[in-house]
Chain A
């Protein structure tokens, strides 16, 4: 780790000012990606702006027909939230298979989304549930938020404050783990909401999380595993590495989507 300046603001406004002041500042949420990268000297921010003391960024609440999760809410708190378990059990399940106990006890939803790792679990839920990312500046629809590998719509001085999930009729998540990292080799989140069905895939796409429109169309009529039986996802654009070929990943999307549908609640 290289030397850096450590700041611990009390408000979002103060945090934004610190970001503006230093060109090389990085926000620290749960630190489950940033800190290992810093220890390996792969990241070297000049300033760390620790959000842990910013008031009002944590917690899960129901707001009308939405579940609102504060950006600094730890994975474990989403997993254990009675409200999440009742309203979006697929989301509680997703968090229960995310990382390991250490990661779940430190990592946060906001940190995960801002990082947008192509194999992370949360982006699949946010995209499939058609959630809205609320920042200090604006509300960003899920479809506009994810911009590619580790890329998001967030501006340099923009901070995620909360994520708003419309409660779906039904949703399910199936993850197939990378045998080494235990990240998603492929993860598929299916959801049936008031605007129809959505299918989001993490782990497989060369440009990060993506939707499978053909499946969505079929599921709009019949939200069941049977409805997508004949649909094959092309291997083009899929990640190929020593853990799985592009063809394998494309194939897994179908398998996992069907299983997620069968298990959807």
Chain B
């Protein structure tokens, strides 16, 4: 292993600019003559729009235009769409209501845009927005997904009676019912997977510019996947043809899923910029972000586990109501279905599984993928059920898991997935050693001496990353393919530019992708730069989400590098008057097999371009290759997290005493970056389990609309993590990578709630397990789960 190659803990190249304040985020960009946009947003969760009077606002100082939903409709700008088609049990397609970028007839959640003001300054725009008079006819609203489909609930979209978008199912109902009928023990749980607000450090932003001469538009925005944004805005919204629309996602300060989606504000910025023929800039403030960023999770679930006389799991039955919010966001339909129910087998060999999912509209912000997207929800269901089952049966939760683990691969689950490789025993055993499980009793006794409760909780999770192959996801309803592209441009002097469709917004691609190239070509890492996030530079790409950049994005680079090496060998062959087949390439040197004749990387790259050693008939000049990589299967990262907590029963304050994570991510490019991903993921999972929870009141107002009421995890809430790995390389991609971005957020909530419930001796501790909640549980005041 070289100091900068695969497996080396290379410091992140991009941090130089991030840490010194020289990054280039969307809101750092200003275009000459730009106007600032400010949205007039609905204060009501559900209301008809009777009238929007913009006259007074239009006369305010600095105002260039005030545009409404009616203007948008007149200009025939299409609405936003959800790009994954889900089919209900009866074969009918999901019921997607219209989602105009500015509401014209009706608002469906607080924060819905009803007008936009364009002015010379942000303050002028904001002042004028207050002068826009909107006459609302307030309607009753519903925010609770469990009540949305009830008789008499307010009807949110006409196309979706009873607010039901789809009732979908997966698995074999008859076989599962039979397993339950013959079960010796059945464990039942009612679970609410709490709604989360993503809260990336950088709020969303968009700048749109119209080039009249070329009738072309450019959009700078905070996107995890600029090409998909361009495709949707072009093909579905109908803004402009793809070749007349350039989307640039420059430095992006975190996404966690929330910046995958196509949002109203960027559509409005493009439309407005063309309409007023001036650049338009919109930057969300934090209050707007709380209201309008797509939220995550929000499931209401009843789950049951069937166990036979030998303590083997024989069946799993799940019914989930998924809150989609007021509109179907870009990939919202896939999250509670194919990203959720397909993972319900966990790490276990379960012969029969049946899952039903009802997706409903409510008068709340749209809900879509958020770090883990469906897989944290699945893991929470499975790992809570397994832990509670072990407790009910009086079994050690680790041994109960071990007994039911999948042990041979490939393993076909009853819910689509074929697990390719793994060693679940290995990660569990290592994690138990690291946390010193056998001495937990001593530590518990020690805590009790000080009046504290101590608990330990496991989460042996599995996830599916690198969602693919495209053909398979297409058959499940995806509107896009999920491959990735790469282009390797070698310059005459030997430096290299990697163009990738994998966008980096905190993941460290500029380092890890360069490590791959440095390792493969034997060149210094400084000579490699990674270019991403601009549809004019990168031909096409699917973006970054679902822990796919390593497994899919880097595999595409490997394919392109294969082509580069093959061509460079030919060039070297001409230089040394040997056949390209006789050239060996190692450590940046091309050698004629069996001789000491060699040429270096820089000589070859220069010769590729000056083309003095071969004719155009023999070889094309230049050294640039591209590749598209479509995986043959998902990857299946898995592992074991164990949390140990100490609780002050007098106050309910939970202190995380220990945390061990042993993950199998397959082969690892940069262990430091992977560890950072695990840390961040655990922090987000701890946030969900203990701190975070979006809460709407019955009028549809977001009670947790700021950091005063929405608790984000802070350093002091977290212990020092013990992070380790086991390795079973992924067999389906050339680097053996599985993906690591979401694992921490997927594994950790179950581990923490298992630890807290173990400590308090009650299973009903809803998330977030705030001190108030834990205190009540510790007092024995909580009734058993299920109510």
Binding site for B on A (CB under 8 A): 1-2, 40-41, 176, 179-181, 185, 242-245, 248, 251-252, 255
Contact = CB atoms under 8 A, between A and B. Distances in A.
Contacts of A176: 651, 653, 771
Nearest to A181: B708
A181 B709 contact: yes
Closest 5 A/B residue pairs (Cβ): A180-B711, A244-B772, A179-B711, A181-B708, A248-B772
A40 B135 CA distance: 24
B695 A181 contact: no
Contacts of A179: 690-691, 711, 770-771
Contact of A252 (B127, B651, B709, B776): B651
Listed residue (B123, B650, B653) with the most chain A CB atoms within 10 angstroms of its CB: B650
Contacts of A251: 775
B772 A243 contact: yes
Contact of A180 (B287, B650, B707, B776): B707
Contacts of A243: 709, 770, 772
Contacts of B786: none
A179 B703 CA distance: 15
Contacts of B653: 176
Interface in B278-295: 287
Contacts of B775: 248, 251
A179 B772 CA distance: 10
Given A179-B770, A180-B707, A180-B709, A242 B695 contact: yes
A242 B652 CA distance: 15
Interface in B742-787: 770-772, 775-776
Contacts of A1: 123
A127 B312 CA distance: 63
A201 to B, nearest CB: 15
Contacts of B711: 179-180
A95 B235 CA distance: 58
B651 A244 contact: no
B772 A255 contact: no
Listed residue (B651, B703, B775) with the most chain A CB atoms within 10 angstroms of its CB: B651
Given A242-B695, A243-B770, A255-B651, A248 B776 contact: yes
Contacts of B690: 179
B771 A242 contact: no
Contacts, number: 46
16 contacts: A179-B711, A180-B708, A180-B709, A180-B710, A185-B771, A242-B693, A242-B703, A242-B704, A243-B772, A244-B770, A244-B771, A248-B771, A248-B772, A248-B776, A251-B775, A255-B651
A40 B287 contact: yes
Nearest to B711: A180
Interface string B263-290: 0000000000000000000000001000
Interface in B92-126: 123, 126
Interface string B698-724: 000001100111111000000000000
Interface residues of B, number: 25
A181 B714 CA distance: 12
A55 B707 CA distance: 36
A229 to B, nearest CB: 12
Nearest to B709: A180
A242 B651 contact: no
Contacts of B691: 179-180
Contacts of A40: 287
Interface in B111-163: 123, 126-127
Nearest to B652: A248
Interface of B: 123, 126-127, 287, 650-653, 690-691, 693, 695, 703-704, 707-712, 770-772, 775-776
Contact of A255 (B650, B703, B710): B650
Listed residue (B123, B653, B709) with the most chain A CB atoms within 10 angstroms of its CB: B709
B647 to A, nearest CB: 14
A110 B690 CA distance: 35
A173 to B, nearest CB: 15
B387 to A, nearest CB: 25
A181 B709 CA distance: 6
A251 B776 CA distance: 11
B111 to A, nearest CB: 15
A185 B776 CA distance: 16
B287 A242 contact: no
A176 B648 CA distance: 12
A185 B693 CA distance: 17
Contacts of A255: 650-651
B317 to A, nearest CB: 32
Given A242-B695, A255-B650, 7 more contacts: A176-B771, A179-B711, A180-B709, A181-B708, A242-B709, A244-B772, A245-B776
Contacts of B704: 180, 242
Nearest to A176: B651
A248 B695 CA distance: 19
Given A242-B695, A255-B651, A181 B771 contact: no
Listed residue (A2, A181, A242, A255) with the most chain B CB atoms within 10 angstroms of its CB: A242
Contacts of B703: 242
Contact of A245 (B123, B708, B772): B772
Contacts of A245: 772, 776
Contacts of B709: 180-181, 242-243
A251 B712 CA distance: 25
Given A176-B771, A248-B776, A181 B707 contact: yes
A40 B286 CA distance: 10
A178 B690 CA distance: 13
A122 B384 CA distance: 43
A248 B773 CA distance: 9
Nearest to A252: B651
A78 B704 CA distance: 33
A20 B36 CA distance: 38
A25 to B, nearest CB: 22
Contacts of A252: 651
Nearest to A247: B776
A41 B708 CA distance: 16
A108 B771 CA distance: 30
A90 B275 CA distance: 63
A243 B710 CA distance: 10
A185 B708 CA distance: 12
Contacts of B771: 176, 179, 185, 244, 248
A222 B710 CA distance: 41
A255 B775 CA distance: 12
A140 B152 CA distance: 57
A67 B176 CA distance: 74
A1 B707 CA distance: 19
A40 B776 CA distance: 36
A34 to B, nearest CB: 15
Nearest to B695: A242
A132 to B, nearest CB: 32
A179 B771 CA distance: 8
B257 to A, nearest CB: 22
Nearest to A249: B772
Contacts of A2: 127
A186 to B, nearest CB: 9
A112 B529 CA distance: 52
B450 to A, nearest CB: 14
A135 B179 CA distance: 77
A185 B770 CA distance: 12
A252 B771 CA distance: 11
A219 B87 CA distance: 69
A248 B779 CA distance: 11
B61 to A, nearest CB: 11
Contacts of B710: 180
Nearest to B126: A41
A176 B776 CA distance: 16
A244 B123 CA distance: 38
Contacts of A181: 707-709
Nearest to A179: B711
A59 B650 CA distance: 39
A83 B691 CA distance: 38
